Structure 1
Amino acid sequence: MRLPAPGIARRVVLDAGHGASNNHGNTSCRCEAEESFTLTAARAVADRLESTGAFALRISRESDRAVEYRERVEEAETWGAEAFVSLHSDVRGQPERHVGGCPVSNLSPGFSVLWSDEGEPALSARRLALARAVAARMEEAGFLPYGGAEYTGLYEPDPVQRGVFVDRHEPTKRIFVLRQPTMPSVLVETHHALDPREVARWDEPSTLDAFAAALGAALLDTLEPEAP
């Protein structure tokens, strides 16, 4: 990871996806709500990034209290965040079976990085640069990019970097945290939550280490240099 000059900490918001009113996210193959996974992951990744000295981190929600997405974006802007990274897990297609009442599928493993091309062109370009950098760094670290078979009509694959997709929902259904922030923002679908192999992998500290290192490198690759 290419570290910035001593004393410069880049301000980044890690959004623990879901956890808004009546928005718990998906249910994993362990019957865990997505909002619980993302909060645990955000805390772990924030600790790892802050330990480098290169970042100042804020997590969009710190407890089970519901926090609306508009509030998260407004707080990021007030704080002066330089990037907004929303962490999620994905559910793709229909479950193949249920085990202990929990949905299971091994058909669509891998990560994806989502972004929006809405709004001002310069900001859109910075979102795309961040999305490509995150996916490239994750792939370098050994994470599998998702191919996108179940995304048809919802997200369009990037022609340059595997695992990157632009939001193509109907305009009223597009993802708020991708199109609204005034700083570069991306959404990382870390894995397929119905796949027991991937869920088990994200329990491992080494996976969180690798992801935090990849994310940190991508942020430093793409954030604009501080003025001297």
Structure 2
Amino acid sequence: MKKVFLMVLVFVLALSFSVYAGGGLVGTKIYVDPGHGGSDSGAVGPTGLTEKEVNLRVGTVLKNCLIEYGGATVRMSRTTDVYVSLSDRVNDANSWGADRFISVHHNASSDPSVNGTETYCYTYGSSYSFDLRNKVHAQLLAWGGLPDRGTKTADFYVLKYTSMPTILTEASFISNPDEEARLRDAGYTWREGYYIYKGIADHYGVSY
């Protein structure tokens, strides 16, 4: 009996430590989708920085934060510079049974002075999609302090055809020369990934 009691006590203490350490996403399956890749560079900055590179860097940070701080289970659409079709990304997430899908992107404009933060969910998405979008958007604004271009809806492929609440982040404009320079800084993009994680934690109502 004493042995059973000690085993239960150890389990409770371990669980308490996990929650205290921020492991509130244990058992949650998050699909992280760094946009573009391989032959699809995405947007390109004034001095040649590619969106696909930045997306992968931020997506990798997000994955690490979700695992290390939140205890989530994470799957990525790509972990290297390879091309993955939109349908393959969506089908992979759907078949895996992801609870949430986060697609990481960076915007571009023909006007190099434009910068700001936008976050999207599906036009006919669930209330969970809208809440996830709003919580992540608020944290991205706190991260970059960039102009708020708003929370938006769209019928982008990954938003429309995923079977779980899904968002697409456009944290900033790589076409802006000053922003491109900041996006070259690993510390800056690390914070971006971390703040997306914080938004997801806010959505789930857990500590970080």
What's the TM-score, normalizing by structure 2?
0.78
Name the SS of the counterpart of 2:170 in structure 1: strand
Which structure has the larger Rg? 2
Q: Report the CA distance between 1:88 and its aligned residue.
A: 0.8
Following the alignment from structure 1 to structure 2, what is the Cα–Cα distance between the partners of residues 53 and 4? Answer: 4
Q: Name the aligned partner's letter for residue 130 of structure 1.
A: L
Q: Name the aligned partner's letter for residue 134 of structure 1.
A: V
Structure with greater helix percent: 2
Name the SS of the counterpart of 1:25 in structure 2: coil
* Residue of structure 2 in register with 1:66 after alignment: 83
* Residue of structure 2 in register with 1:116 after alignment: 122
Q: Name the aligned partner's letter for residue 200 of structure 2.
A: L
* Residue of structure 2 in register with 1:219 after alignment: 200
The reply on whether 1:10 has 2:28 as its aligned counterpart is yes
Following the alignment from structure 1 to structure 2, what is the Cα–Cα distance between the partners of residues 198 and 9? Answer: 36
Name the SS of the counterpart of 2:126 in structure 1: helix
Q: Report the CA distance between 1:219 and its aligned residue.
A: 1.3
What's the TM-score, normalizing by structure 1?
0.72
Q: Report the CA distance between 1:197 and its aligned residue.
A: 1.6
CA contact (8 A) 1:89 1:189 kept: yes
Following the alignment from structure 1 to structure 2, what is the Cα–Cα distance between the partners of residues 191 and 197? Answer: 11
* Residue of structure 1 in register with 2:152 after alignment: 165
Q: Name the aligned partner's letter for residue 29 of structure 1.
A: P
Percent identity reads: 23
Following the alignment from structure 1 to structure 2, what is the Cα–Cα distance between the partners of residues 142 and 65? Answer: 28
For structure 1, list consecutive stretches of 5 or more residues without a partner in the other structure: 96-104, 148-162, 168-173
1:136 to 123, 135, 138: 138
Name the SS of the counterpart of 1:177 in structure 2: helix
RMSD: 2.6
Q: Name the aligned partner's letter for residue 116 of structure 2.
A: G
Following the alignment from structure 1 to structure 2, what is the Cα–Cα distance between the partners of residues 75 and 166? Answer: 23
Q: Name the aligned partner's letter for residue 44 of structure 1.
A: V
CA contact (8 A) 2:34 2:105 kept: yes
Following the alignment from structure 1 to structure 2, what is the Cα–Cα distance between the partners of residues 186 and 53? Answer: 19
For structure 2, list consecutive stretches of 5 or more residues without a partner in the other structure: 1-18
* Residue of structure 2 in register with 1:153 after alignment: none
Following the alignment from structure 2 to structure 1, what is the Cα–Cα distance between the partners of residues 63 and 178? Answer: 24
Following the alignment from structure 2 to structure 1, what is the Cα–Cα distance between the partners of residues 97 and 204? Answer: 13
Following the alignment from structure 2 to structure 1, what is the Cα–Cα distance between the partners of residues 58 and 194? Answer: 14
The reply on whether 1:48 has 2:54 as its aligned counterpart is no
